[in-house]
Amino acid sequence: MLNGVQVVFKKIIKLLALEGQEPQVVKQPETYQIDLVPNKKYRLKRQMYLFPSQAVTPKVNDYLRIGAIVSYLKSGEIFQDNNVLSPWVYVRSEKGTEGWCFSHYLQMADAPGAGQRAY
């Protein structure tokens, strides 16, 4: 069974073939997976915004710094950010602010090196 990304790539290759162009190798996004447990605490690997919806918009609920602790509440749609596919996650900060962020910037709060720069 093909996933959504594979279907899109197949359609692009067909369109290029119809136009007489050679398909080029494109780096596929990597998929990030983390086993998220509801109400468990996670630490941010980089600073980021909490958004009111599953979209990058100018309106934000909060700005969190590297190492901030959040509680995971639920997962949302898959999103591509910096060539990484991962689900949006709805979290609550220690200040009580809730919002959506990218799951690939979360790590277990008690993980070694937690809160250090990811880049």
User: Residue 114 maps to which CATH number?
Assistant: 2.30.30
Q: With contact defined as beta carbons under 8 Å apart, do 42 and 68 qualify? A: no
Whether 78 and 115 map to the same domain: the answer is yes
Q: With contact defined as beta carbons under 8 Å apart, do 29 and 78 qualify? A: no
Asked whether the CA dihedral 60, 61, 63, 66 is positive or negative, the reply is: negative
Whether 52 and 90 map to the same domain: the answer is yes
Report the length, in residues, of the chain. 119
Whether 17 and 42 map to the same domain: the answer is no
pLDDT in tens, 54-92: 988 889 999 999 999 999 999 999 888 777 888 899 999
**Segments forming the whole domain that contains residue 21:** 1-28
Whether 21 and 43 map to the same domain: the answer is no
Whether 66 and 80 map to the same domain: the answer is yes
Whether 18 and 51 map to the same domain: the answer is no
pLDDT in tens, 39-55: 899 999 989 999 999 98
Q: With contact defined as beta carbons under 8 Å apart, do 82 and 30 qualify? A: no
Question: In total, how many domains does the chain have?
Answer: 2
What is the token pair recorded at 44?
Answer: 């941010």
pTM > 0.85 = no
Whether 22 and 36 map to the same domain: the answer is no
Whether 17 and 38 map to the same domain: the answer is no
